[in-house]
Amino acid sequence: MKKALLLLALIGPVVALAQNNNAPSSYDPHDIKITGYLQTQFQKAQSPGITSFSGGDFSKNSDNRFMIRRGRLKIDRVDTYSSIVFQLDATQDGVQLMDAFIQLRHPSQKGLSLTAGLFNRPFGYSIVYSSGYRDFPERARVFQTLMPRERDLGGMVSYHPGGKVKFLNLDLALVNGSGHSAKDYDSKKDLIGNLAFKFDSLADKKLHLGFGGSFYKGSVRNDTKTYYTPNSNGYTAHTSDENEGKAIGRNYYGANLQVEFDNSFGKSSFKTEYVAGDQPGVAGGVDIKGPYASRSFTTQPTTDLYQRKFNGYYLWFTQEIAKTGITALIAYDVY
C-alpha cells in the first residue's frame, strides 16, 4: 500500500526538537501542570466506506468528513525523585486514556530513569513524539498497522546522559504486547530497544543530525493446531497438536535518519525511517479487510495465524517559508 500526501501552507511553528510523549511537560519541579492541544481535520476519500486507520474507517455511505482528530489534555506533576503523567484524548468518539505512567530517578543520576505504566513504545523516531510536535501529524501506515495507538503497558529503563555524551539516548522496555487499551492475553512479554544519536549545531550551528536503530522482539500465541509460514508460492501449513499455544515470532528491526539545515529561506528538514521483520496475522475475508489481517492483536486471535514478512518506510520533507511560521510539508510512506 502506498500513500503520498502534499500539504502546503500549514500554519504553525517549525519545531526543531520534537517533544517526547514519554515525559512530563517539564522536568522543573511543580505540583500540577495542565497542557493540551486540539487538532480538527477534514478528510476526502476515493470512495465511500474505505478503510482508514487515521481517525477510523469511513461510514459505508460517506467519502468525506469533518472530525476532531485529537483533543489532548495532559496533567503531570514533578518532584526531585519522580514524575507522574496522565493524558486523555477527547474526540467525537468519546474519551480515552492515552498515557498513565510514573518515572523514577535519582538527582545524582539524572540521565537514568525508570518508567512504569502506559507509555509510548520506544521504537524508532516518530512513535514517541507527540502529534503536536511532529512534522506530519499522522504516523506512517506501517506503524499504524504494527503498533496501533503506539502505547503499551509495561516498564522501561532509559539512559539520556548529559555532558560529553549528551548526543546518546538509550531505551529498553518490557511490555505486554497487547497494546494501548487491552490486558495481556498470555504470559509472554515483548522486548523493545532503541538507540539514538543526536548531534545539534554542526557546520557553524546550521546543521542538525540525528540517526538511530531499534528492535522489537515478541510473539503472538497461536490458539489452533495450525499456523502458516511464507514460501515462494504462498504459505506452508504446519499442523500438529503441539502448535496449540505455540509462540509465533513478532520481530521488527528499524533504522531512522533526521537532517535539518538552517538557511536564509527558513529551516529545511528531511526525515526518514525504515522498518522490516515478521508480523503474525490472520487470513483476510469479508469481515477482515486488507491491512486489518496483519494488524497487531489486542485480544487472543482464535483462528490460524499467518506469519508474514513485511517492510515499510516513510519520507518527510519540511520547509519553513521565510521564517513566517508557515511551513510546507511533503510526506510519502510505503507499506
**Residue type (1 letter), 204:** D
Q: Is the dihedral of CA 8, 18, 67, 75 positive or negative?
A: negative
Nearest to 312 by CA among 278, 274, 281: 274
Nearest to 299 by CA among 128, 148, 123: 148
**Residue type (1 letter), 283:** A
Q: Are strands 305-320 and 226-231 parallel, antiparallel or unpaired?
A: parallel
Environment class of 106 (CB within 10 Å of its CB; exposed 0-12, middle 13-18, buried 19+)? exposed
Q: Look at residue 286 in the predicted model and tell me its pLDDT.
A: 64
**Tens-digit pLDDT profile for residues 52-100:** 767 778 888 999 999 999 999 999 999 999 999 999 999 998 999 999 9
Dist. CA 116–CA 175, nearest whole Å: 10
Contact in structure between 174 and 154 (CB atoms under 8 Å): yes
Task: Tell me the CA distances in angstroms from 271 to 142, 158, 300, one per residue in order.
Answer: 16, 23, 36
Q: Look at residue 292 in the predicted model and tell me its pLDDT.
A: 78
Where the chain has pLDDT below 70, the residues are: 1-19, 53, 286, 289-290
Q: Look at residue 290 in the predicted model and tell me its pLDDT.
A: 67
Q: Look at residue 51 in the predicted model and tell me its pLDDT.
A: 78
Q: Look at residue 159 in the predicted model and tell me its pLDDT.
A: 96
